[in-house]
Amino acid sequence: MSETRTPIKSLSLEEIEVRLRAAGEPAYRGKQVTDWIYGKRVNAFDGMSNLPAALRKTLGEEFVFDRLEPIRVLGSEDTTRKYLFRLADGALIESVLIPASPALYGEASDRRTLCISTQVGCAYGCKFCASGLDGWSRNLGAGEIVDQILRVEEHSGERISNIVFMGMGEPLANFAHLLKAITIINAPWGIGLGARHITISTSGLAPQIKQLADQPLQLRLAISLHGARDEVRDRIMPVNRKYPIEVLLEACAYYTQRKKQWLTFEYILIDGVNDSPEDASALVRVARKVKAKVNCIPYNKVEGLEWERPSEARQDAFMAVLEAARIPATIRREKGHDIAAACGQLRRQSLPDSEKIPLQGAAAQDT
Ligand code: SAH
Ligand code: SF4
């Protein structure tokens, strides 16, 4: 029989209150429930010990308390940790914990950043990225997005201070669930993380960028640009044929004006593809049109793909063009590529039960 109950972690406090009232309960019970989930962090309705037994039973009938199941944790030399989670339907996703990461998107430095997934696979098929290699299978629900944070905090014993939506999937293609998850992550009754500590990365869905600009939170936005000329971007990112650079920049300008905020252009340097001095000059022109700083990332090798990282000399020459034009730009020497946890290395995968690796707390870390 298929599940008809609503996942409790996909609902806002208000929605929980409405549902409880409809079940004949006083509205204040809603806040008690969210206190147990996000404050005291219980993992079952039965653990909500100050609620009457009859109410706990009602909760169990109305809602599911799904949890992501961590089935593997890999830790890298620089202590970046990659979590592989199994969802209720058996699909697998990954989240990456990056301790003490530098300030990349304007947030304070030396914090613990969690990179989370929004979809199983990705439909956008960028040519350089592992996440889209095997296509897309489904959107994550808001509760599945939120639970990545709860599970990693539970397992690591650490408090996450920044969230980046840079795991598997295109966040803006799962817009409603993304916004609901952010509401829960941001709310004082929820995880309580400030909007300025939340960064969304998109491959450039122009209409949704504008929609995001129109909602009130001061979320940070990063654009996966990777090419500043249409002929280059068309070749590596199919989304550019739908929303070419001109259209994308118009949406970006709308965002910076509405939010009074700078955004970040992410630019992977791929050898011989987008890393020439002419590409750098085109990037200068694009960055001048929008209030944007540039974050260059030397390409992380993906098994089975032909692309390579340019030599350091070539990377330096590219950066020199940006510097000479006084474009605020950094180059990111990435963490986690030894465990395939770096940007673009998260791949849709499946794991047969026979290969399930038991997780025994820190002992399971492959450090
Ligand atoms: N779909 C969204 C969110 C995923 S973010 C987006 O594309 O923005 C993942 C980031 O890693 C994106 O900037 C993506 O372009 C980048 N990326 C993909 N493959 C990469 C690779 N092999 N090396 C370095 N960065 C990569
Ligand atoms: Fe999808 Fe982003 Fe990877 Fe492109 S870069 S395939 S949009 S996850």
C-alpha of residue 162 to centroid of ligand 1, in Å: 18
Q: Which atom of ligand 2 is nearest to the CA of 130?
A: 3
Tens digit of each residue's pLDDT, the chain (367 residues): 578 899 999 999 999 999 999 999 998 999 999 999 999 999 999 999 999 999 999 999 999 998 999 999 988 656 789 999 999 999 999 999 988 655 555 555 558 999 999 999 999 999 999 887 888 999 999 999 999 999 999 998 889 999 999 999 999 999 999 999 999 999 999 999 999 999 999 999 999 999 999 999 999 999 999 999 999 999 999 999 999 999 999 999 999 999 999 999 999 999 999 999 999 999 999 999 998 999 999 998 888 899 999 999 999 999 999 999 999 999 987 656 666 666 566 666 555 444 443 333 333 333 2
Cβ(300) – ligand 1 distance below 6 Å:
yes
* Cβ 327 vs Cβ 284: under 8 Å: yes
Residue 143's pLDDT is what? 98
Strand order in the sheet with 81-86: 69-75, 81-86, 92-101, 111-115, 162-165, 198-202, 220-224, 263-269, 292-298, 329-331
Q: Which atom of ligand 2 is nearest to the CA of 129?
A: 3
**Phi/psi-derived region of residue 343, left when phi > 0, alpha when psi is between -120 and 50, beta in every other case:** beta
C-alpha of residue 343 to centroid of ligand 1, in Å: 5
Residues in contact with 269: Cβ distance below 8 Å, sequence separation at least 6, in sequence order: 275, 296, 297, 298, 299, 309, 310, 314, 315, 318
| Most ligand 1 atoms within 8 A of CB, residue of 170, 266, 299, 346 to mutate | 266
Residue 336's pLDDT is what? 64
Closest to 144 in 3D by CA, of 256, 56, 64: 64
Closest to 311 in 3D by CA, of 367, 339, 272: 272
Residues taking part in catalysis:
94, 343
Largest CA distance in the chain: 69
What's the Rg (C-alpha) of the chain? 21
- Ligand at minimal distance from the CA of 172 is 1
Closest to 294 in 3D by CA, of 268, 255, 275, 258: 268
DSSP 110: S
Cβ(129) – ligand 1 distance below 6 Å:
yes
Q: What residue ranges in 69-219 does DSSP mark as E strands? A: 69-75, 81-86, 92-101, 111-115, 119-121, 136-139, 162-165, 198-202
Which string of DSSP letters, residue by residue, matches 68-90?
Answer: -EEEEEEE-TT--EEEEEE-TTS
Helices (H) and strands (E) in the chain, counts: 11, 14
To which residue do tokens 């994550």 refer? 140
> What lines the ligand 2 site, CB under 6 Å?
122, 124-126, 129, 131-132, 169-170, 203, 224
C-alpha of residue 47 to centroid of ligand 1, in Å: 40
* Cβ 259 vs Cβ 218: under 8 Å: yes
Cβ(59) – ligand 1 distance below 6 Å:
no
For residue 89, report the phi and psi dihedrals to the nearest 5 degrees.
-90, 10
